[in-house]
Amino acid sequence: MTAHNTLDNLTMLMHRYDGVFVLTDEQVAKCCLPVVLNMYQLSLADTPTLILPAGEEHKNLSSVQRIWDFLFEQGATRNSLLINIGGGVICDMGGFAASTYMRGIHYMNIPTTLLAMVDAGTGGKTGIDYTPQSAEGSIGSLKNAIGVFAEPVETIIRLELLATLPAEQLLSGYAEMIKHAILQGRKQLDELLEYDLRQTATPAFGELIRQSVAFKQSIVEQDPHDKGLRQILNYGHTIGHAIEALMLCKSKVESQKSKAEIRNQRSAKPHGYCVMYGMVAETYLSHLIYGMPAEVVSTLSRFMLENYGAAPITCSDFDDLVQLMLHDKKNKEQGTIVCSLLQDVGKPVVGQPITIEQLREATEYLCSL
Ligand code: GLY
């Protein structure tokens, strides 16, 4: 990511292309798109814009097909630019569609959520969720299972957009910032755990975002294709992704039931919430395997309960979670589950194989909170 975010820089960048196209979703179109277009003196009338339905359940091949069709219909060439304005789903999926359209055109991200600002907007991981035909009906979609590495030409972070976010979305992004901090060291972690989350429209919060993105970039530069070191950024995600996929799968099943039945059911959770649950379980695993101080496990657990609530799973979900984790991209051999863990705060290790018994203990810990 470069930090060109002035109007002049954006205008200069757009003049390099023979066509500029915008991708966004229905939710962003309502709350942030007018703010962004106004910021950059763009008008919907002059900028062909595709507005997709919002939500992780639309991060799939048929949405990508709609983006390709849109680009073809609007006459995009190999020298066109796609601007993704939205959260992680739009940045990931738009990046993938652009990187495969005519063997790859440039794309730019204007993340509108905190989560996308500190994570999906940078680093060049693009893609969609996918259910292999052989697994249809047995498990939910596998998150980000299909995609390519392709860096955006630019990522523009505008703090003004945070004012458009509901508290739940801020917390979701904050979990990824906590993840970066726990990988960095005590000072960074304590700073975030103690920060007053009502103060997000401040230069101090902007500085926390800058540090978080800079940390991610420093890791991506060393390992852009996720062969080793970058996997530390998956901290909390082995268990977190499985919880997220399970919740998504259950909410799909539940939405097919009658409204009366739905009332007391669990629904899908924002990505960052699942990462927070996953981080607590994986910090417990780090304690079990590497002797991570118990005090870190309890501090993080307390922070989770106070801000994100208890994990929406029970011990009876364990077998489904294991099935989902067996499909995790970090696993090298079939039948083994591999995690990124911590020897201590700021001391990450990648590629740690986990036994089913260790996983069961960590899941039971999470469910006991
Ligand atoms: N979100 C983790 C990564 O970009 O590698």
Q: Same structural domain for residues 318 and 171?
A: yes
Question: Residues 278-320: pLDDT tens digits?
Answer: 999 999 999 999 999 999 999 999 999 999 999 999 999 999 9
The beta-strand segments (E) located in the chain are 19-25, 49-52, 80-86, 106-111, 128-130, 142-146, 154-155, 337-344, 347-354
What is the total residue count of the chain? Answer: 369
Best of 89, 144, 216 for a ligand 1 pocket test (most atoms within 8 Å of beta carbon): 216
Q: Same structural domain for residues 341 and 248?
A: yes
Q: Which ligand 1 atom sits nearest the alpha carbon of residue 123?
A: 4
Q: Which ligand 1 atom sits nearest the alpha carbon of residue 122?
A: 4
Quick check: 164 and 187 in contact, CB under 8 A? no
Specify which residues 86 forms β-bridges with: 111
Distance CA(234)–CA(232), nearest Å, equals 5
Q: Same structural domain for residues 107 and 160?
A: yes
Distance 129 CA to ligand 1 centre (A): 15
Q: Same structural domain for residues 71 and 149?
A: yes
Q: Same structural domain for residues 197 and 48?
A: no
Axis-axis angle for helices 356-368, 271-290 (nearest 10)? 120
Q: Same structural domain for residues 45 and 190?
A: no
Confidence category of residue 222, pLDDT binned at 50, 70, 90: very high
Mean pLDDT in residue range 175-194:
97
Mean pLDDT in residue range 93-103:
98
Distance 73 CA to ligand 1 centre (A): 32
Q: Which ligand 1 atom sits nearest the alpha carbon of residue 119?
A: 1
Q: Whose CA is nearest to atom 2 of ligand 1?
A: 233
For 156, the domain range is 2-165
Give me the pLDDT at residue 264, please: 41
DSSP letter string, 52-73: EPPSGGG-SHHHHHHHHHHHHH
Ligand 1 binding pocket (C-beta < 6 A) is 119, 123, 125, 226, 230, 233
Distance 317 CA to ligand 1 centre (A): 26
Question: Residues 52-93: pLDDT tens digits?
Answer: 999 888 999 999 999 999 999 999 999 999 999 999 999 999
Q: Same structural domain for residues 14 and 146?
A: yes
For tokens 């359209």, name the residue.
101
Q: Which domain-ending residue is among 136, 165, 194?
A: 165
Question: Residues 323-335: pLDDT tens digits?
Answer: 888 877 667 667 7
Quick check: 122 and 278 in contact, CB under 8 A? no
Kindly report the average pLDDT of the chain as a whole number.
89
Q: Please determine, for residue 249, whether its predicted confidence score (pLDDT) is greater than 50.
A: yes
Specify which residues 354 forms β-bridges with: 337
Q: Which ligand 1 atom sits nearest the alpha carbon of residue 125?
A: 4
Distance 230 CA to ligand 1 centre (A): 7
Q: Please determine, for residue 100, whether its predicted confidence score (pLDDT) is greater than 90.
A: yes
Distance 18 CA to ligand 1 centre (A): 31
Q: Same structural domain for residues 239 and 149?
A: no
Q: Same structural domain for residues 228 and 148?
A: no
Distance 144 CA to ligand 1 centre (A): 11
Q: Can you give the CATH number for the domain in which 9 is found?
A: 3.40.50.1970
Q: Whose CA is nearest to atom 4 of ligand 1?
A: 123
State the chain's maximal CA–CA distance in angstroms: 59
Distance 123 CA to ligand 1 centre (A): 7
Q: Which ligand 1 atom sits nearest the alpha carbon of residue 230?
A: 5
Residue 86: closest CA among 124, 164, 33, 50: 33
Q: Whose CA is nearest to atom 3 of ligand 1?
A: 233
Higher pLDDT, 200 or 361: 361
Q: Which domain-ending residue is among 135, 165, 195?
A: 165
Residue 233: closest CA among 154, 178, 313, 291: 178
Confidence category of residue 136, pLDDT binned at 50, 70, 90: low
Distance CA(231)–CA(187), nearest Å, equals 22
For the entire predicted model, the pTM comes to 0.89
- Helix spans in 74-202 (H): 88-100, 114-115, 167-184, 186-194
